[in-house]
A and B are shown apart, each in its own frame.
Chain A
Amino acid sequence: MVISFLSALLILAGLVFFLGAGVGILRFPDFFSRMHAAGKGDTLSTLLIIAGFALYQMRDLGDSEASVSAVLVALKMLVIIAFLYIASATSTSALAEAGWEDGNDPVIAPKHENRLAGPPESRTAAADLNRNSTHDSQP
């Protein structure tokens, strides 16, 4: 009973994190911050929800008959968790790099300058480019 309560708590925590990821992917202004929200919130919520179900599979471990199958299923869920823990971060990194090379620019406040764009003597041209290319993503 307490294991069911703990797994329900894990699953609800995962839903809260997924709500945060959904709000972030809908409301953030540019591609990289949306990538940030999607990568972190999506990964953590998936890990928490699957860990909750894996904990629920282990609830009647004392019984000798069904325990082997339950442990095998929980182990496969842990394999999914370990795979997603690596693969989601990898795909987030690859998609962010591809988004940069595809021509996405971060939205930068006017008092700051785009330090990724080039050397200091050419930052004004880079700032012009930045302002011209991100006008569609600003409200």
Chain B
Amino acid sequence: MTFEHFSIGVGVALLLLMIPAMCRIVMGPTTMDRIVGANMVGTKTTVLLVIIGVIFGKVDMFIDFALTYALLNFTGAIAAARYLRHKGRRGIVLASTSEESVCERA
């Protein structure tokens, strides 16, 4: 068994192990759950691009795609976090001990 066959097996295993994250994207009760699942799938797509490069023997080309995809995934996650953070409990910081925070939550 060569390393390319092993790489194909690792890629298929990664694709099968992505299924729980995709289930969380489909059935996640809140929007943030879906974003977490999409972030996980995107991170694993970076690994899959490296594996595709190893299988085709062109790692020096696919490694740039993987690096770009990692950058885009990080930017997307940060953008989604910045977009969604001001929708709910506006102005309430974590571990707040002020009185009006509880009133504002209600």
Contacts and interface: CB of A to CB of B under 8 A. Distances in A.
Same complex for A and B? Answer yes
A137 B29 contact: yes
B47 A83 contact: no
A72 interface: yes
A46 B66 CA distance: 12
B10 A38 contact: no
Range of interface residues on B (Cβ < 8 Å): 35 or more
Contact of A73 (B21, B63, B74, B88): B63
Nearest to A134: B29
Give the size category of A's interface with B. Answer: 35 or more
Contacts of B30: 31, 99, 102, 104
Interface in B63-90: 63-64, 66-67, 70-71, 74, 77-78, 80-82, 84-90
A98 interface: yes
Nearest to B21: A25
A6 interface: no
Given A35-B36, A101-B92, A117-B102, 11 more contacts: A23-B20, A42-B39, A79-B67, A91-B74, A94-B77, A95-B36, A99-B32, A103-B88, A116-B96, A126-B105, A129-B106
Interface of B: 3, 6, 10, 13-14, 17-21, 23-24, 29-33, 35-37, 39-40, 43-44, 46-47, 50-51, 54, 59-60, 63-64, 66-67, 70-71, 74, 77-78, 80-82, 84-90, 92, 94-99, 101-102, 105-106
